[in-house]
Structures are given as structure tokens and as C-alpha cells.
Structure 1
């Protein structure tokens, strides 16, 4: 339990802080925006980690030490912390009310998303009932539909930070309630994932504006990312030093704790700017970026 908490907290906060400092010194980014960028880039992407860990779990690797379970659990907590800190910093950057209201906005959004996710998850546990026909298909479509409803509904309601967490929690709660019966639902969702995964990353790439790239700023941005990731790798290795893993397992956990993908796109889209513009603000440079803002 302590390893899971350490793994989900320390690498994220250290990478975000390092990115904020480096972006301030190298790129001239204000401190608030530096931490926004840091928490965007610091989150681990479950779209990369979870499928890989599920595959290793099926193959029987790391089961004795519980490595796949550890990484999947820590990944969820890591994203919750990243979303909370991100929405808090974003509220400060675009503050329109009191300081305390802006500071509390992030935690309140996370709390609201978690409570709504638990409620929807319990709803899926008992509806549709187990005696209905085509139960697997009904559960699958309701699961996907409610997850999309939570994501888009929270954006419409003005609490975008709660949507992703609500989707995560409702699937987690529903899966626990279904027990072994969740395996067929997982298979259906996996088929949908194979269809939408290329579209997801294709749409991410479509937002990159090649003509706006500046060579100098690109190299500075790569340097900033390299420094932040190096700090993350070192902190991750230190975190698992006395957790009962051998050297190979420690190296594996350290490298498995690097992936960046869909979380970065989701969080950066909450600024109402193109996702790649915020995630890699460094591609445009400080002066051009803030003229657009």
C-alpha cells in the first residue's frame, strides 16, 4: 500500500516541479503556467500502462510480486492527483473570483467526479438485472455511454476536471460489483478500443501545426522534457528501492512509469485551446503563445 502511494505521488510531483522550474528558466514561462504544463506532462497515461499490464497479467509475469496490479492501481491514483493539481493551477491562471474559491475548485471538481462515478457505478451493478437477455451487450453499451455522458456532460456543466475521473471511477466500481462476470464486458470494450485507438492518436497528430514550429524552441522544449523525465526516472527508482523487488523489476517499474499519451491531450483540452498547443507550449515559444492567449 505504501509503495502504491509513493509511486503515485512522488514521481509526479517531482517531475511537475522540475518542469515548472525548467520552463521558467529556459522558456520564460510564468510559474502558474509552468506548473500547469508540469502536471499535464507528469501524469501517466492509463491508455498505455493498463493494456500492457493486463497483457503481462494474462501471460503470468510479475504475479508473485504483484507488479501489474501495483502499476494499474498507482496509475489511477497518479491521474487523480494530476487532475486535481492541474485544475487547481488552471483555476488560479484564469481566476475570476476569490483566491480560496480558485484553490478549492480543483479538489471540489475531483470530489464531485468521484461521487458521481460511484453513484453511476453502483447503478451499473444492478441495472440491467442479471436475468436479462444480451446482458453483456447491454452492460457494455451502458458502460461506454455513461462514460461518454460523464465526460461531455461535465464539460457542458462547467466542471471539466470531473469528467475523466467520473468515467474512471464508475468503471472501477461497476467492475468490482460484476466480479467474474466483467470478463465478457472487458472483451467487448477491448474490441471498441481496437477501433478507436487509431482514431484517438490520429486526431492528436492532426492538431500539430507544423508551420508554427520554431527550431530553436523545439530543441529547448525537448531539453526541458528530457530533464523532467530524467528526474522522474531517478525518483521512481528511489521510491521502489526498499519495496522487495529485484534489480530487473525495479528497472522495469521505472521504465513502465514513463508513458505519456491520452491524459495529456485530455487535460490540455480543458484550457479551450488546441491540446498540442498547451502540452507543448514550448513549440510556439513564450511570446507567440501569450499573444494568442
Structure 2
């Protein structure tokens, strides 16, 4: 396993550096590293590390969502109001609808499998969006109308909404039971409970840190451990009551930001360093799960359905921003910022395959293609348009 870890880090960093120099997202190099080292090409990775890859990918998702929470100012969202709420779910719902329309026709999937595919692809990427929106806030672009904050919060909650929906639909697919009101009720209940638990634990930690003085590194370890317990709590209670562990993670970070801004800034910096290592394993390991021959056969069809669904997403963004004070350029920038996919697709894209769903390999392949297409496209568009489209 140690050799595999060394190969993942060294080759992942090397290809990430090359893509960075080409002005493309580093994560593309990391995914290619996984494809090259994985069982469908060189097959040099230890099976042990592949067996725990889903857990490692989930750890990476926890880290990036905590970082998003630590940069999220709820007061800015209150200023935005209704559009902030709509951006959390409307674009994702429209994109899922796009997959439900085309999935059965182009990919031979059932409507349920098409919906599951839609929930995997519909989440935007915190790995692409979080650092870029934080950069915009630091430079002051769009902050007067809280545009970076709107995108940051909307994208983060969008991820949670989609993951909760994904969990509900895959449970439905595995149980082969009929769709019921109970499945629909799980979504708002899990979101509300996740937020409440995150806020309560966040307030307790703030008081604890005031009483017990310890290094920021120790505080990070405590928060990280509690975040993992949120996920454990979600998995343990999912048969009885739905709780979004990931939303609890983000709410905890946002509570720390609201209660102690200086601490959140210091912790955010440390989480950024932690993410530098976590993202390598996240994207390399998802690349390692891809059957390259199957991906090549499905490649063009995947690109077509992804682009079609993105058009639906853009329509959802524009509908969410109706009757706002954003001008045409700002609305266009917001829609561009909602394009990139990477983190969530890497974290959950392989789960349907590991669950034994017949559509698992198709879903994984489309998930990886969506990363390869939209991550560089979204990153390039955000980086090259924000100074022209935002004040």
C-alpha cells in the first residue's frame, strides 16, 4: 500500500503541475493519474487502497464543505434573499430533469436510473467554486451585490440537496419499492436536522474553545473528527430518521464563522492546506475506478447528454434570478459559475456501481466525463470573465 500511496502522490502532483502550467484545472491531471495507474491500464495500485477509496473520497468531500462553511457569511445571504434559496435547488432540479428526458433515449436507462444519474451529475464542484469565490471576495468583485456569496452558498447547499436526493433514489432502487411521499419528505427533514445539528455543535465548540485554550491545529482535528461523526450518525440513523451529515458539516463551519470570524479565517487557511493532500486522493482514486474502454465507447453520447443537461441548468439559474438587481452580465457570470463538476461526482460517482446497480458503470463513466468536460470549461470561464462581467 505504501508504494501505491507514493505513486498516487508523486504522479498525481506531477500531472497536476503540468495541467496547471497549461492553465487547466489540476484535478484533470489527477484523474488521468488514476486512469493510468488503475486496474484498467497499468494495474499497479494495491487492491487494499482501492477497497477503501469510497471512504477516502468522502473524507475529501467533508474537508472541502467545511472550508466552504468557514467562508460563508449568512448575513450576506439574507441580503440576497429569495434568489439565494432558489439557487440551492432550482438549477439542480432542472439539470436532473434534463437527464430524465434524455437518459432513457441515449443511454438506455430506466427513468429511475436516469434520475440517479442526474443527481450524481447535478452537483456543482466545491473544489472549483469555493477557492474562486473566496478569491473574488478578497478582491472585491461582485461583493456589493453579494454575488460570490450567493454562488458559494447556493453551490454548497446545492451539493447537499443533490446528495440527499441521490441517497433517497438509490435506496429506492435497491429496495425496488414504489415511489412514496416518505421519499419526498426525507429531503426537507434531512436538510433541517442537518442544519440544526451543525449549528448546535458549532455553538458548543465555540464555547469550549473559549474555556479550553489550545492550538488551532488541535481545533482543526476536533472539528474534523466531529465532522466524521456526523457522517457516522447519518449512516447509523438512516433507517429511522434522515439526517444530512454533510449539511451538518457545512453548518458547523458557518456557525464558527458567525461566532468567531478570526478563528474561522485561521481554520480556513489550515483546511486549505489539508485539501491540498485530500484532493489528490479524491481525484486519483475516482480515475482508478474508470473502465477506460467502456468510457471511450460511451464518450460522445456522454458529452451530448451532459451539454443538454447543462442548458437546462442554465435555464434554472436564470429563473432563480428573476426580479433581482443583477444585470445581464452578472446573471451570465452566475450561470457560468454553476457549470463545473468535480468533487461530488468524484465522491459518489462510483457508489451505484459498488451497490450493484445495473446502471452503475454507465453512471460512473458519465460522471467522469462530466468532470473532464465541465471542470476545465467552468474554471477557464470563471477565471477569464469575472473581471469583465463583475464590478
Question: What is the TM-score of this pair, normalised by structure 2?
Answer: 0.64
SS in 2 for 1:263: helix
Q: In the alignment, which residue of structure 1 is the partner of 2:304?
A: 223
Distance across 2 between alignment mates of 1:55 and 1:274:
38
Q: Which one of 106, 120, 144 corresponds to residue 64 of structure 1?
A: 144
Q: In the alignment, which residue of structure 1 is the partner of 2:315?
A: 234
SS in 2 for 1:208: coil
1:181 counterpart = 2:259: no
CA deviation string 1:110-148 (max 9, x = no partner): 4443343233222221223356142x2222221222223
Q: Flag the 1:67–1:182 CA change in 2: closer, same or farther, 3 A.
A: same
Q: Flag the 1:206–1:4 CA change in 2: closer, same or farther, 3 A.
A: same
Q: In the alignment, which residue of structure 2 is the partner of 1:208?
A: 290
Answer yes or no: is the 8 Å Cα contact 2:160–2:244 preserved in 1: no
Which deviates more, 112-121 or 30-39? 112-121
Q: In the alignment, which residue of structure 1 is the partner of 2:341?
A: 260
CA deviation string 1:38-65 (max 9, x = no partner): 1221122222212110011111111111
Shift of 1:12: 1.1
CA deviation string 1:138-161 (max 9, x = no partner): 222212222233235544665797
1:20 counterpart = 2:100: yes
Distance across 1 between alignment mates of 2:351 and 2:257:
28
Distance across 2 between alignment mates of 1:166 and 1:270:
21
Q: Give the superposed CA RMSD.
A: 2.8
Q: In the alignment, which residue of structure 1 is the partner of 2:18?
A: none
Shift of 1:103: 4.7
Answer yes or no: is the 8 Å Cα contact 1:91–1:102 preserved in 2: no
Q: Flag the 1:280–1:222 CA change in 2: closer, same or farther, 3 A.
A: farther
Distance across 2 between alignment mates of 1:26 and 1:97:
25
Q: In the alignment, which residue of structure 1 is the partner of 2:280?
A: 198
Question: What is the TM-score of this pair, normalised by structure 1?
Answer: 0.83
Answer yes or no: is the 8 Å Cα contact 2:95–2:312 preserved in 1: yes
CA deviation string 1:203-224 (max 9, x = no partner): 2212212133352x32212211
Distance across 1 between alignment mates of 2:138 and 2:307:
33
Shift of 1:27: 1.5
Shift of 1:172: 2.0
Shift of 1:10: 2.0
Q: In the alignment, which residue of structure 2 is the partner of 1:117?
A: 198
Q: Flag the 1:105–1:73 CA change in 2: closer, same or farther, 3 A.
A: closer
Gaps of 5+ in 2: 1-80, 368-391
Distance across 2 between alignment mates of 1:250 and 1:105:
32
Q: Flag the 1:25–1:58 CA change in 2: closer, same or farther, 3 A.
A: same
Q: How does 1:153-168 map to 2 (within 5 A)?
A: 154-155=234-235, 162-168=244-250
Distance across 2 between alignment mates of 1:91 and 1:176:
35
Gaps of 5+ in 1: 284-293
CA deviation string 1:151-184 (max 9, x = no partner): 3554466579733222222222233222333211
